[in-house]
Amino acid sequence: MYTLIGFLVVLVGLTTMATIESRARRLDRRMARLEHKLDLLLRHGGIEDDDPALAEVAALVRAGQDIPAIKKYREATGAGLLEAKEAVDRLKG
């Protein structure tokens, strides 16, 4: 009996974790799309970001130095590796 209850608790826990991870992935994708759209609007309007660290990231991207740009982006924003890489890729256009 306790084995069955334990199994059900684990099953519910795993299902809950999978749901949370799925929602987090969806939110990450939505956030990336919104950031991309905002980047396009800023670029179209000729508006520069006033954050000096992010300006340095943009300069590194223009110089073709993607890895240092990713590192600088992570330092400036606290983003994870994947998020920083995607941001740098968006800057490359």
- Per-residue model confidence (pLDDT) at position 69: 95
Using CA atoms, how far apart are residues 49 and 4, in angstroms rounded to an integer? 57
- Per-residue model confidence (pLDDT) at position 67: 95
- Per-residue model confidence (pLDDT) at position 57: 92
**In the chain, where the domains are located:** 1-47, 49-93
Using CA atoms, how far apart are residues 9 and 76, in angstroms rounded to an integer? 41
**pLDDT digits over 22-81, tens only?**
888 888 888 888 888 888 888 888 887 677 888 899 899 999 999 999 999 999 989 899
